[in-house]
Structure formats: structure tokens, C-alpha cells
Structure 1
Amino acid sequence: MYLTPIQTTEADLAADRAPRTVTTLLVGKLLCRGTVEHLCRIRNISMSGMMLETHHPLGFGSGVAVELRSGDRLEGNVVWTSEGRAGVEFAAAIDVDHILAQVKAGPEGFCGPAPRAPRFDVECAARISCFGRHIDVTLENVSQSGARIRLPRPPREDTEIILSVPGLPSRRCTTRWSADDKAGLIFLEPISYNDLGPWLEHCTLDS
């Protein structure tokens, strides 16, 4: 019995080589122009590139990198821009399935520190309300899910407080840790992307 060989066409080969585009919504840290950091979202991603959404204007041809909560770093060049969005072509092809699996993995999937929302270093005056007292503090870093503050006598671990930062909605928090003159806060409700992104850009312009 003879088997008819299967003919492979150029269209079939092209389909095999075509990158698989995945629509998603990944929040990351956008790095460009040296050490400046910005908040961004990845709207879709393929093995050859991604579409970014960011409050920071990007120029055609500029090199950028995006760090994800998993620690993965995606690097490439801007190939098109539109208001609030940009297309980035990767410097080298990526494994999309691996990237998505890493981002979605729970803490048990990592040997090192558990993944967390991108944090941004800042240095600005803020205030906390604790047991009816208002205390001036310095905000040292912030993410959508938490912050680090500096003050002479930080509240104890698991203390519920309210954090007020000029330009951002007040947030109810719990102290996750407390040591020396610093405390780590967890927000009971995350800061929205549309609140935090423009606020960070304003901080960048002021610094």
C-alpha cells in the first residue's frame, strides 16, 4: 500500500512561522531614557513584538525595556506611536507561552522572591492617619498594591492606617512590616492604573 506524500506549500510554512499574537493586559515597568521608570500596560504580545499603553510619550525608534512582575525583561525598539500607545519590535524573538505562564504563576512557582506589582522609587511628602493621629511621613516607593514610608516611629506590623498622598486618592492600608524608621504598607484596595500612571509622570517632571 502506497501513501501519497503530503505536499507542504509556502503558505503552510509561512503560517508555521507567523507569530501568535495574544491579547492580554499585563502591567509592567517601562524603562527608557536612562534610569527613568514609568508605568505601562501590555495590550497584546507576540514572539516578535508588543503593543504598549502608557502615559509617557515615546519616540519612534527609541529603545525601551519593560520589566514584568515575574522579573522577565522585554527589550526592543519603538516602531510606531499613537496617542497613549506604541508598538515595540523585540530585539530577539521571545517565548510568549513562557512569559505568560511566568506572569500568571503563583508564589510556589518561583525559587526566589514572590512576584509583585512593579514598584517605583519616589521621594515625596505624605501623611498617615493612625489611631486618630495625623503623622507626616515621606513616601519612598509606591506600586498599585502597596508603598514604603519613612518616619521616626513607624506603626507596628498589622496596624490599619490611612495613607494620604497629594494627587492620589487616600488609601486604607495595613502595615506589612515595620523596622527602624520605615514601614511597608499593603493597600486594602489597589490604586487604579489610570490614577497611578499620570501621578508618576507628574513626579518625573518635578524631579
Structure 2
Amino acid sequence: MNLTKAQSAEAGLALDRAPRTVTTLLVGKLLCSGTIEHLCRVRNVSVTGMMLETHYTLGYGNWVTVELRSGDRLQGSVVWSSEGRAGVEFTQPIDVDYILAQAKAGLDRFCGPAPRAPRFDVTCAARITCFGRPIDVTLENISQSGARITLSKPPREDTEIILSVPGLPSRRCTTRWSSEDKAGLIFLEPISYNDLAPWLEHCNLDS
């Protein structure tokens, strides 16, 4: 079928306006009813919606917000869900190219062994090993790339230690900063999503 020049231009504009689905993998913080936050991954994103991976069970009609590491927030309601996944329809169309560009800029800006990632408040007993000496600490928050701990005498900045948290693999890390009774840690290797997400859900059930 031959198209006139005007028809071809119209078809091109229609294609430009059509929702475009992009397969990607963006880690974010899932917020829904209540104040508890959950770790999630955005698998597919389009102008009108996204598919999430999460260990938190979502139901049809649930209102959700996903905060990405760039600070952008994607909001909408759940239109389908299955074990570990959910489809979300946005309240209004988004600029997919902008969201992906912001996510890439965030990774480039915080590149290195421990890129910035969504951080979650927790309160649990943990232990660090510093110069071969075990020290009991309290874990205050955690992300895939780092954590904050409380203890009476924090190690100095740039000290290499091992953090042991019940239910998670031990991590080699360095102190990024320390104060009178707290220290911020950077993991030398990030915690995998598949390790951290179910651990956080277990903490939420216990809280």
C-alpha cells in the first residue's frame, strides 16, 4: 500500500506518540499503604506503566510509588499481580527517555565500587570485625551499597572492616565517615538484590 507524503508524516507522528516499552533494570524504593518501605526492581517501563519485581505482595488496585536512585518518583495503581511481579499503570504519561537518562546520570555520578542505592531504616543487632577484633554494633540502615551502624567507639574513616548481619552474607567494607557513636560504611561489593530484598521483608514482618 502506497502512502502519500502527508499520510506518511501522520503515521510517523503516531509512532512518535505511541507508548514505548523499554526492558531495563532499575532498583528503587517501593512505597505503598502505611510507612513501611520495600526494595523493588523496575523490569519494563513505558509511557503509561511499568512492571515491578518485588518480594512484597501487591494486590489489584493498590496505589504505589517507586522512588528511583535519581530521586524521580513513578506513581500509579496495580492493574495485575502475580508471585513476585506486578503491573502498574501510571497516573499520567511519563517521559521514558528522561527517566532512563536520569538513572544513567545517577550511576555515572556515583560510579565506583559502591554506587548510591535506596537506603532502608532498620534496627537490628550486628557485628563488625576490625583488626581481627569482633565488636557488637547496632545496624541503623542499609542499602545494597552501604550501611550505618551505632557503636561506642567507631573506627576511623577509611578503616577496612567486616560487617556481619544475621541473615545476610558478611560484607567487607570501609568506613566512609565516623562520628562520636556512629559510622557510615561502604561495601566493597554490593549486596545482591536477591539477598537484600527478602531480608528486608523479613525485618518488616518482625517490626
Residues 3-31 of structure 1, C-alpha deviation per residue, up to 9 Å, x if partnerless? x6522698666534320111000000000
Alignment identity in percent? 80
Q: How does 1:179-194 map to 2 (within 5 A)?
A: 179-194=179-194
Aligned to 1:82: 82
- Which stretch shows the higher mean deviation, 168-177 or 101-110? 101-110
How many matched pairs? Answer: 200
Aligned to 2:167: 167
Gaps of 5+ in 1: none
Q: Amino acid of the residue matched to residue 129 of structure 1?
A: T
Residues 154-203 of structure 1, C-alpha deviation per residue, up to 9 Å, x if partnerless? 00000000000000000001000001110000001110000000000000
Residues 46-91 of structure 1, C-alpha deviation per residue, up to 9 Å, x if partnerless? 1100000001100100000000000001000000001100000001
Residue 7 of structure 2: SS of its match in structure 1?
coil
| Aligned counterparts of 2:158 and 2:16: Cα–Cα separation in 1 | 53
CA apart distance, 1:41: 0.3
Q: Amino acid of the residue matched to residue 30 of structure 1?
A: L
Aligned to 2:61: 61
Scaled by the length of structure 2, what TM-score is found?
A: 0.91
Aligned to 1:133: 133
Say whether the 8 Å CA contact 2:145–2:191 is kept in structure 1. yes
Is 1:22 aligned to 2:28, yes or no?
no
Aligned to 1:118: 118
| Aligned counterparts of 2:86 and 2:44: Cα–Cα separation in 1 | 11
Gaps of 5+ in 2: none
Is 1:154 aligned to 2:174, yes or no?
no
Aligned to 1:33: 33
- Which stretch shows the higher mean deviation, 99-108 or 40-49? 99-108
Q: CA RMSD in A?
A: 2.0
Aligned to 1:198: 198
| Aligned counterparts of 1:173 and 1:53: Cα–Cα separation in 2 | 28
Say whether the 8 Å CA contact 2:126–2:163 is kept in structure 1. yes
CA 1:55–1:101: 2 relative to 1, 3 Å: same
Say whether the 8 Å CA contact 1:70–1:116 is kept in structure 2. no
Aligned to 2:43: 43
Q: Amino acid of the residue matched to residue 118 of structure 2?
A: P
| Aligned counterparts of 1:92 and 1:163: Cα–Cα separation in 2 | 43
